[in-house]
Homo-oligomer: A and B are copies of this chain.
Amino acid sequence: MITDADCPSGGIEIVREVFNRIGDKWSLIVIRTLDAGPQRFTALRHSIPGISQRMLTLTLRQLERDGLVSRTIYGEVPPRVEYALTELGETIVPPVIALATWAFAHERDITANRDRYDAEHFAEEAG
């Protein structure tokens, strides 16, 4: 699988970083939303129920810093800022889909496993 050959410099760190970035609470859904097309800040907020303005800003900043998302400011009044996936950002979408698809496909398995594990280890049924 992830052999040392894939990791010549001895650092698997970048992988953790990437998984961590898109594994946080909002990045994944932001990427998903932007994959449908560029969006303004407020549009994004509305597209993503439950996200706070702070977390949307932070998430976008992180994605922008990594070069996955671009930020375009239009010097207008009122202000207009548009976010979009960069080319790099678009390249991450397929592997993300792959893992997301796995998650959907095995949601029931995982849930069942968790239920069983919890039952065995906390034995509420006192079986």
Q: Which residues of A contact B (CB under 8 A)?
A: 1-2, 6-7, 12, 14-20, 22-25, 28-29, 32, 35-36, 64-67, 88, 91-104, 106-107, 109-110, 112-114, 117-118
* Chain B residue at minimum C-beta to C-beta distance from A2: B32
Say whether, besides A2-B32, A28-B19, A106-B91, A98 and B100 are in contact (CB < 8 Å): no
| Total copies of the chain | 2
Quick check: B102 and A92 within 8 Å, CB to CB? yes
**Which residues on B sit within 8 Å (CB–CB) of A92?**
99, 102, 106
**Which residues on B sit within 8 Å (CB–CB) of A107?**
14
A19, A112, A117 interface centre (most CB from chain B within 10 Å): A19
**Which residues on B sit within 8 Å (CB–CB) of A95?**
95, 98-99, 101-102
21 A-B pairs, CB-CB below 8 angstroms?
A1-B96, A1-B97, A2-B96, A6-B100, A12-B32, A14-B103, A14-B104, A17-B110, A18-B100, A19-B28, A19-B103, A20-B23, A65-B113, A66-B113, A67-B113, A88-B113, A91-B106, A92-B106, A95-B99, A95-B101, A96-B99
